[in-house]
């Protein structure tokens, strides 16, 4: 085990903006810190609630929300923003008369976790007074739900049906510092909605001090070219409240020399903390399921090699696709005499709170989406985090008592090379879904939309181009009827929506809906660690020569024939939880399809129809095997990018001449995940303009 050498370092404390920056400070004396717990009737859990930093600001928050259209609340992770503020609002009457308090989160996992926590605190059944909605899962009761947690993406969809979001009295846009695409679109739209609904209250809450830019965004009005926005309207100045945390001091340690393998470095750091430091849980930040699994494996090996050092360690992974039961383990208290090590993605950075963490190990990396509009390739890559993220991560160590944070990078790197804040997702993503949503909401002038951060025009043009070739937008960049409007109704990537719509004419909607449901799941197979050979053999039992999409149909059929049996899944190295989810999503998609007038029909084994429907949606992802390639190199038809079939595909090493793929993942190379063979003539059939002389709709029209 290589030894890490550490050097204690400093990290400037976070500086709050002064009065000029618009930050309003409320002294705790203004608050209701002394009121009794029984007032709210949650006696047992009440005192716990009162100990949270946000409690001192209860009166102040309610006062500001009462008197301001928009209130911005900044407070450290764990101070009680998400779980408490919606309850305060309910107690103050904001949910009376059938109105609903909404609280959005960028992450699905956080939505479920905070909703069940709040239901527990209020001693109600989840799905009644307190509910949640994420894509494909609605746990609310319209007649009873007063506090509703939902992803920002789901709230955007609700705007399609109810443009002024009339049922909500207060909308809390939480975790605004994450600047997800949906959060940004939502902020732009809520600003518009507020003009029509002065009684609507917004709360923007954030863990980092970027309150100034948010506050500016809500008080200035951008002049639009849209007909409804001719006048320059001054905005009411938003209130800004900073919740003083109760975080303890965190001692920062940097490595003396840069580390070459952060997974290995993580493992040795965890073991040396366990060996040398007093009790307290360890939270490790890695980037994704692959390196988390690798670290756990390595820890297990080292533990085996040195039984003494590692006894008493409980090692747990945390990432968003983790099954529910395993998530619950992460949040359960550490048994006496044991030390919990949670190895997490940046999901534990701000949106989830883990009790008992005293040590943080920060790899300095996270997985981030980057989109290159020129090559039209979107990649989830391991990239350095920002200083803001590094501070958030360190802060996780000071929740219960003074803690320590071990940064696996040098102080010099932190000071001189790390960027101070991250890039908003809007500026590094493919915008196809974003554009179709705005179009469906009647926002025609997308470049002129009032964005918190403008998207790059090239990415916007690319998105318009794809939507045009899918037949979703017309020459004037307006949604086509019916295809465009129908595609916008389906809560999936427009390419999948188009595939579903095309299956209607081709008579294979039942099969295509199955494929769409499976493509929405990260993987239906168990993860291949240690069972790769068995997994490959299992896949072979279902493999279709046409590729992964058709293989999915075989898998699904087998699952149904087994009576949806978990033993059957186990035997075939299939993830039973994922298959159950597929059934659920499929059911939702069936309902959506019926609503759109799609006739549910099976092609009874006519696989050609299925393949043509897939091509109708995914023609833009076509690639061709290089003529003299001995290593399976393909080039994408559109961008001439070098790509390879992913090892998890049933077409790996088969290398048919023409394929289309569902998505690209990049590790050492660009890999096509979920590939299917095609006849190239289908491409021009599906999208003549796209492959011949490309016509571009004018994005700035109107
Ligand atoms: O939103 P913010 O980060 O400010 O805090 P929060 O999520 O409201 O969490 C407040 C407290 O509730 C945390 O300190 C946790 O102790 C507790 N909590 C929990 O036990 N389980 C959850 N699922 C969420 C919060
Ligand atoms: Mg929160």
Taking only the tens place, the pLDDT of each residue in 260-278 is: 999 999 999 999 999 999 9
Q: Indicate which ligand has the atom closest to the C-alpha of 73.
A: 1
CA of 43 to the centre of ligand 2 (A): 23
What are the pLDDT digits (tens) for 594-603?
999 999 999 9
> Who wins on pLDDT, 336 or 283?
283
- pLDDT score, position 30: 30
Ligand 1 atom at minimal distance to the Cα of residue 399 = 14
pLDDT at 439 over 50: yes
CA distance 300 to 218: 51
Ligand 1 neighbourhood includes 327 CB (under 6 angstroms):
no
Among residues of the chain, what percentage have pLDDT more than 70? 89
CA of 344 to the centre of ligand 2 (A): 17
Mean local confidence (pLDDT), 530-551 = 93
What are the pLDDT digits (tens) for 197-216?
999 999 999 887 666 778 88
Candidate CATH numbers 3.40.50.1370, 3.50.50.60, 3.40.50.300, 3.30.300.30; the one for domain 14-243: 3.40.50.300
pLDDT at 306 over 80: no
Band (545; pLDDT cuts 50, 70, 90): very high
CA of 210 to the centre of ligand 2 (A): 16
CA of 90 to the centre of ligand 1 (A): 18
Q: Indicate which ligand has the atom closest to the C-alpha of 52.
A: 1
What are the pLDDT digits (tens) for 125-167?
999 999 999 998 999 999 999 999 999 999 999 999 999 999 9
Q: Indicate which ligand has the atom closest to the C-alpha of 78.
A: 1
> Who wins on pLDDT, 588 or 350?
588
CA of 132 to the centre of ligand 1 (A): 16
Mean local confidence (pLDDT), 624-640 = 89
Query: Is-contact 99 223, C-beta < 8 A?
Result: no
Ligand 1 neighbourhood includes 183 CB (under 6 angstroms):
no
- pLDDT score, position 219: 80
| CATH classification code of 426-487 | 1.10.10.2130
CA of 257 to the centre of ligand 1 (A): 36
- pLDDT score, position 38: 36
- pLDDT score, position 480: 95
Alpha-helix residue ranges (DSSP H) falling in 174-331: 181-196, 211-219, 262-276, 289-305, 307-310, 324-331
Mean local confidence (pLDDT), 19-37 = 35
Q: What is the dihedral angle through the alpha carbons of 700, 467, 440, 134, rounded to the nearest 10 degrees?
A: -130
Residue whose CB lies within 8 A of the most ligand 1 atoms, among 83, 204, 246, for a mutation test: 83
Ligand 1 neighbourhood includes 520 CB (under 6 angstroms):
no
- pLDDT score, position 168: 98
> Who wins on pLDDT, 29 or 555?
555
Which range, of 394-398, 529-533, 679-683, averages the lowest pLDDT? 529-533
Ligand 1 neighbourhood includes 502 CB (under 6 angstroms):
no
Ligand 1 neighbourhood includes 460 CB (under 6 angstroms):
no
Residue whose CB lies within 8 A of the most ligand 1 atoms, among 81, 86, 117, for a mutation test: 117
- Domains in the chain: boundaries: 14-243, 250-423, 426-487, 490-692
pLDDT at 643 over 70: yes
- pLDDT score, position 309: 62
Ligand 1 neighbourhood includes 355 CB (under 6 angstroms):
yes
Residue whose CB lies within 8 A of the most ligand 1 atoms, among 80, 105, 330, 352, for a mutation test: 80
CB 215: neighbour CB atoms within 10 A?
Answer: 22
| Protein residue closest via CA to atom 14 of ligand 1 | 78
What are the pLDDT digits (tens) for 167-189?
999 999 999 988 899 999 999 99
- pLDDT score, position 698: 40
Ligand 1 neighbourhood includes 153 CB (under 6 angstroms):
no
> Who wins on pLDDT, 361 or 221?
361
Nearest to 407 by CA among 398, 394, 416, 397: 394
| Protein residue closest via CA to atom 20 of ligand 1 | 117
> Who wins on pLDDT, 289 or 223?
289
The average confidence (pLDDT) of the chain is: 87
Ligand 1 neighbourhood includes 353 CB (under 6 angstroms):
yes
- pLDDT score, position 2: 56
Ligand 1 neighbourhood includes 547 CB (under 6 angstroms):
no
Ligand 1 neighbourhood includes 84 CB (under 6 angstroms):
yes
CA of 351 to the centre of ligand 2 (A): 5
Identify the H or E element spanning 7. Answer: strand 6-9
CA distance 615 to 584: 25
Name the DSSP class of 126.
B
Q: Note the Cα 381 to chain centre separation in Å.
A: 15
What are the pLDDT digits (tens) for 324-343?
788 888 988 899 889 999 99
> Who wins on pLDDT, 91 or 695?
91
Ligand 1 neighbourhood includes 246 CB (under 6 angstroms):
no
Nearest to 551 by CA among 592, 481, 505, 607: 607
Domains 250-423 and 426-487 share a fold: no
CA distance 667 to 455: 26
Q: Indicate which ligand has the atom closest to the C-alpha of 173.
A: 2
DSSP secondary structure string, 39-107? GGT-HHHHHHHHTSGGGGGHHHHHHHHHH-SEEEEEE-TTSSHHHHHHHHHHHTTTTGGG-EEEEEES-
Using omega within 30 degrees of 0 as the cis cutoff, is the peptide bond preceding 602 cis?
A: no
CA distance 31 to 59: 5
- pLDDT score, position 42: 42
**CATH class given for the domain over 250-423:** alpha beta
Ligand 1 neighbourhood includes 82 CB (under 6 angstroms):
yes
Q: Indicate which ligand has the atom closest to the C-alpha of 105.
A: 2
Ligand 1 atom at minimal distance to the Cα of residue 113 = 23
Task: Report phi then psi at 443, rounded to 5.
Answer: -90, 100
CA distance 255 to 253: 7
Query: Is-contact 252 8, C-beta < 8 A?
Result: yes
Ligand 1 neighbourhood includes 119 CB (under 6 angstroms):
no
Ligand 1 atom at minimal distance to the Cα of residue 243 = 4
pLDDT at 539 over 80: yes
pLDDT at 493 over 50: yes
């Amino acid at each position: 085990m290589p030894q890490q050498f550490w050097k204690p370092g400093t990290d400037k404390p976070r500086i709050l903006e002064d009065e000029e920056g618009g930050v309003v400070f409320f002294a705790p004396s203004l608050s209701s810190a002394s009121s009794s717990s029984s007032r709210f009737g949650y006696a047992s859990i009440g005192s716990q609630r009162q100990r949270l930093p946000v409690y001192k600001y209860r009166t102040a928050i309610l006062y500001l929300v009462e008197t301001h259209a928009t209130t911005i609340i900044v407070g450290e992770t764990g101070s009680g923003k998400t779980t408490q503020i919606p309850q305060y609002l309910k107690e103050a009457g904001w949910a009376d008369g059938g109105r609903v308090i909404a609280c959005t989160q960028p992450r699905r996992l956080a939505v479920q976790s905070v909703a069940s926590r709040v239901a527990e605190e209020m001693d109600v059944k989840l799905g009644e007074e307190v509910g949640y909605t994420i894509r494909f899962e609605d746990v609310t009761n319209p007649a009873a739900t007063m506090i509703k947690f939902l992803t920002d993406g789901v709230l955007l969809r609700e705007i399609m049906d109810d443009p002024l979001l009339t049922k909500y009295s207060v909308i809390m846009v939480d975790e605004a510092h994450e600047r997800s695409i949906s959060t940004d679109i939502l902020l732009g739209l809520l600003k518009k909605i507020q003009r029509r609904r002065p009684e609507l209250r917004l709360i923007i809450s954030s863990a980092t001090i970027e309150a100034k830019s948010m506050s500016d965004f809500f008080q200035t009005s951008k002049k639009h070219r849209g007909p409804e926005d001719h006048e320059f309207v001054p905005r009411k100045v938003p209130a800004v409240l900073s919740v003083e945390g109760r975080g303890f001091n965190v001692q920062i340690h940097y490595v003396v020399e840069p580390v070459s393998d952060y997974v290995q470095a993580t493992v040795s750091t965890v073991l040396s903390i366990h060996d040398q430091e007093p009790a307290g849980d360890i939270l490790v930040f890695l980037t994704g399921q692959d390196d988390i699994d690798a670290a756990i494996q390595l820890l297990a090996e080292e533990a085996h090699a040195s039984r003494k050092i590692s006894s008493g360690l409980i090692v747990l992974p945390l990432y968003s696709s983790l099954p529910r039961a395993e998530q619950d383990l992460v949040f359960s208290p550490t048994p006496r005499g044991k030390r919990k090590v949670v190895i997490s993605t940046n999901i534990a950075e701000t949106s989830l709170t883990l009790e008992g963490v005293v040590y943080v190990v920060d790899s300095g990396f996270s997985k981030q989406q980057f989109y290159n509009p020129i090559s039209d390739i979107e990649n989830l890559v391991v990239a350095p985090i920002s200083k803001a993220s590094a501070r958030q991560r360190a802060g996780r160590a000071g929740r219960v008592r003074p803690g320590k944070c071990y940064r696996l990078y040098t102080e010099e790197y932190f000071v001189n090379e790390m960027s101070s804040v991250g890039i908003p997702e809007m500026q590094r993503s493919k915008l196809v879904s974003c554009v179709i949503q705005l179009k469906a909401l009647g926002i025609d002038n997308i470049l002129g939309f009032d964005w918190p951060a403008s998207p790059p025009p090239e990415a916007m043009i690319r998105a318009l181009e794809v939507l045009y070739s899918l037949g979703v937008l017309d020459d004037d960049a307006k949604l086509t009827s019916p295809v465009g409007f129908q595609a916008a109704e389906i809560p999936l990537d427009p390419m999948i929506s188009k595939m579903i719509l095309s299956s209607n004419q081709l008579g294979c909607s039942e099969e295509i809906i199955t494929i769409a449901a499976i493509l929405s799941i990260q993987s239906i197979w168990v993860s291949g660690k240690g069972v790769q050979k068995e997994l490959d053999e299992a896949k072979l039992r279902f493999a279709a020569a046409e590729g992964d999409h058709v293989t999915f149909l075989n898998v699904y059929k087998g699952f149904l024939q087994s009576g949806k049996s978990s033993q059957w899944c186990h035997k075939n190295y299939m993830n039973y939880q994922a298959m159950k989810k597929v059934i659920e999503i499929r059911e939702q998609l069936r309902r959506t399809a019926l609503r759109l007038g799609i006739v549910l029909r099976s092609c009874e084994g006519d696989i050609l129809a299925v393949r043509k429907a897939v091509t109708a949606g995914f023609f833009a992802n076509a690639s061709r095997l290089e003529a003299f390639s001995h290593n399976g190199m393909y080039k994408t038809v559109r961008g001439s990018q070098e790509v390879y079939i992913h090892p998890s595909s049933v077409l790996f090493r088969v290398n048919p001449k023409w394929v289309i793929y569902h998505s690209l993942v990049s590790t050492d190379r660009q890999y096509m995940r979920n590939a299917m063979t095609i006849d190239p003539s289908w491409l021009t059939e599906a999208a003549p303009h796209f492959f011949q002389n490309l016509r571009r709709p004018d994005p700035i029209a109107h």
